[in-house]
Structure 1
């Protein structure tokens, strides 16, 4: 491997953020250069047909490659130069990886009928891996799509907690109201939805509202709680939420984190629960098999929320992600990693 190649994936990803069209141009020129290498000498018309481009597009790409001395164009057709061979060698691991991500993303998007899929490199299930790339990508997608004057509901969990540090103050951020999608999870207060909503607000110089709801309330106590003015105000906010940012958890692991009783864990296992999101448990086919009694975003709300960002990665979570995607609203944007995406393809 030539020197400097190991730094290029980071550089390319940074360039793609700064100039979104750059990657498309790079991929197009790479494809034409690769076809010229494998089929050259080759004329413009057969090259266009093979590459799936118009003759005008092909001529433009060939001129750019010729001007950079990467190909030679003669009467018998185009052929690659030694310099072109070197460039192709350097780019191959980067472009092929990006192609794979794009193909994976398109297949997942088409299979589940959701709005979009973003895949970051790596597998967050591996030892020593983190959620930072997922958090950075989620922050980028959120800030580019949210607009201004919005009510944003966020769930708890380590993946969601990794997002705010990567978030910059987008235009109109101060008009955003962040609210917890539901109560906190487990004993780690830093991973609870109330705290994460507050962290988003602090980062964006925005506002937030908290909702404190004990998960052990009886049905009677829950009914009384719903009549409280604070609960009523939060329910009004849930009905007007413009965005939901949520994670996806493994059903059994989430039950353990919530310190669910043995009876509830057996029920989840018996009903085939695989994934969990905002208090709902889904089986592999996306059917709701159990849900927590709580105040917060309900599955019926998903149809009317314009922007839903589901953030989850790691090969170990693939089946959990699968279970949620079967029930996901069409406006859902999935942000995941290569480990989860590749494993997900084994299930579909």
Structure 2
């Protein structure tokens, strides 16, 4: 077969092969990988079926006309994410690249927003905690298409401190971004006595709000350590002596105002019977639980959260991920 005959055979009848291409396989590969046309569009141009174009693209790879390379940085992060899933029994993990420490919260929020947006379906009820990272997720989330029947619910009580990333603000912002019904929890995070908590939670409006919290099928939350500069201490939810007491009893992390030790077990204390919000045993019953957290100062807290099985999905940065995977750290 002559070259001209072969070129004609490689494209549809009545179609002319451009002079710069050797055959239809090369032309199809160029249109797909360089011009970034769809396989359907290429099929129309070449006068062939889409199935034939698929075969042409496969032949282009087999003949070495096309070489597909994955960026080593991306490949490394994918490998680390898979190791995180295996080590901690996660359903999913997203690891972002290294960057400026000052922008870590924003970058984690953007990644968490992308992951969460992919998970949300029509009719979902999304539980929202609080904190800088959760706020960054809420601020950057957007859905590819409008979904009906979405509800965003606050899962921890309110606090007058840190209003810029309070539970009610995080909840309100996310509901606005995804055009969902917003339900704020109409109670303080910490009450003065256990008796007051029992009385308040028996109110019909709060009973209904907690029923909604218990129907949550997706939860997004962050993790805090309980060192001297931690967010939970600056929120003035309780006294410094209260936090010191939990720390003295082995607490290394705070998870939606609940304290856990290195193994992920809850550390009980005087505040628990006065705290308003989702309990840890309720949290783990939520089908999808997205933890968004990173930074060297939070490695111990994040590991405790993973050890306790509180997350089904983790969004973190590469440095934190590598420390989480390291033994004895």
> TM-score by structure 1 length?
0.69
Q: CA deviation at 1:185?
A: 5.0
Residues 105 and 201 (structure 1), Cα distance of their counterparts in 2 relative to 1, 3 Å cut? same
Q: CA deviation at 1:190?
A: 2.0
2:326: which partner in 1? 346
Identify the match of residue 235 of structure 1 among 187, 210, 213: 210
Q: Distance in 2 between matches of 1:208 and 1:196?
A: 10
Determine which structure has the larger helix proportion and give its number: 1
Counting matched residue pairs gives 265
- Please state if 1:121 is matched with 2:121: no
Contiguous gaps of at least 5 residues in structure 1:
1-17, 19-59, 71-86
1:50: which partner in 2? none
Q: CA deviation at 1:285?
A: 1.2
Residues 284 and 189 (structure 1), Cα distance of their counterparts in 2 relative to 1, 3 Å cut? same
1:151: which partner in 2? 125
- Please state if 1:266 is matched with 2:240: no
Identify the match of residue 313 of structure 2 among 333, 336, 339: 333
2:162: which partner in 1? 188
1:298: which partner in 2? 279
1:312 and 1:321 in contact (8 A); partners too: yes
Q: Distance in 2 between matches of 1:264 and 1:180?
A: 24
Deviations, residues 61-95 of structure 1 (Å, cap 9, x unaligned): 99457214x7xxxxxxxxxxxxxxxx9xxx7xx72
Quick check: which has more Rg, 1 or 2? 2
> TM-score by structure 2 length?
0.73
Q: Distance in 2 between matches of 1:61 and 1:271?
A: 64
Q: Distance in 1 between matches of 2:256 and 2:247?
A: 19
Q: Distance in 2 between matches of 1:255 and 1:100?
A: 34
State the SS of the aligned residue for 1:334: strand
Determine which structure has the larger strand proportion and give its number: 1
Identify the match of residue 179 of structure 1 among 142, 145, 153: 153
Q: Distance in 2 between matches of 1:306 and 1:123?
A: 32
2:18: which partner in 1? none
2:127 and 2:220 in contact (8 A); partners too: yes
1:111: which partner in 2? 87
Q: CA deviation at 1:100?
A: 2.0
Q: Distance in 1 between matches of 2:96 and 2:104?
A: 12
Q: Distance in 2 between matches of 1:164 and 1:302?
A: 20
